[in-house]
Amino acid sequence: MSILDIRVLGDPVLRKPTKRVTEVTDELRKLIADMFETMYAAEGIGLAAPQVGRTERLAIVDVDGARFVLINPEVLESDGSIVWEEGCLSVVDFSAEVKRAAHVLVRAFTPDEREIRIEAEGLLAVALQHEIDHLDGKLFIDYLSTLKRRAAMTKWEKAKAEYPGFIRKVRAEVKGEHHHANETEM
């Protein structure tokens, strides 16, 4: 398995609608395994294919051990509203409150091509909506007021120099590792 580079705000791939998956190939299974490794290394609870530069309608989530691979997911039903402080692995060092549906019913396919329906509330509902938005080229900052969005973009203008080519490198976390000043990083 490999840790993939994460694409950050400004990369056009994050704004492209994705293409439905028509066949689960070995290459797609490898992508799913790599996405899990990347998500865990980045300490996320979800990851969508465009975030690793891909155009398939595919995302993964793991909220408190509720782990799902979502192939061609769609929200079938939604109701109520909930406000949650969201972050995004592609919008580094920024979080904001977003209003979403409180309950969702999501339909998706698994890698063994079974149809699943996920009824969710709380953080799982928020994460599912966040990931499905990624597959439609939408980011959580799109929901912010003009003022808050401008503040986010101003912060990002300064930070983006750290991500040449809109690429965020994710390092594997090594257990028991300590960082010391003047130590050479390999």
Tell me the C-alpha distance between 16 and 137, whole Å.
Answer: 5
Using the rule CB under 6 A, is 126 a contact of ligand K1U?
A: yes
Tell me the C-alpha distance between 75 and 125, whole Å.
Answer: 10
131 is catalytic: yes
Question: Which residues, 6 or more positions from 126, have their beta carbon under 8 angstroms from its beta carbon?
Answer: 82, 84, 86, 98, 100
Binding mask 75-114 vs Zn ion (x if CB under 5 A, - otherwise)?
-------------x--------------------------
Strand partners, 16: none
What is the torsional sign of CA 165, 132, 59, 80? Answer: positive
Rounded to a whole number of angstroms, the minimum distance from the CB of residue 63 to ligand K1U is 8
Catalytically annotated residue among 131, 157, 177, 183:
131
68 closest CA partner among 26, 116, 27: 116
Q: At which residue do the structure tokens 């996920």 appear? A: 118
Report the residue number, 12 or 122, with the smaller CB distance to ligand K1U. Answer: 122
Rounded to a whole number of angstroms, the minimum distance from the CB of residue 165 to Zn ion is 19
Using the rule CB under 6 A, is 90 a contact of ligand K1U?
A: yes
Rounded to a whole number of angstroms, the minimum distance from the CB of residue 105 to ligand K1U is 18
Using the rule CB under 6 A, is 88 a contact of ligand K1U?
A: yes
Residues that bind ligand K1U (CB under 6 A): 44-48, 84, 86-90, 126-127, 130-131, 134
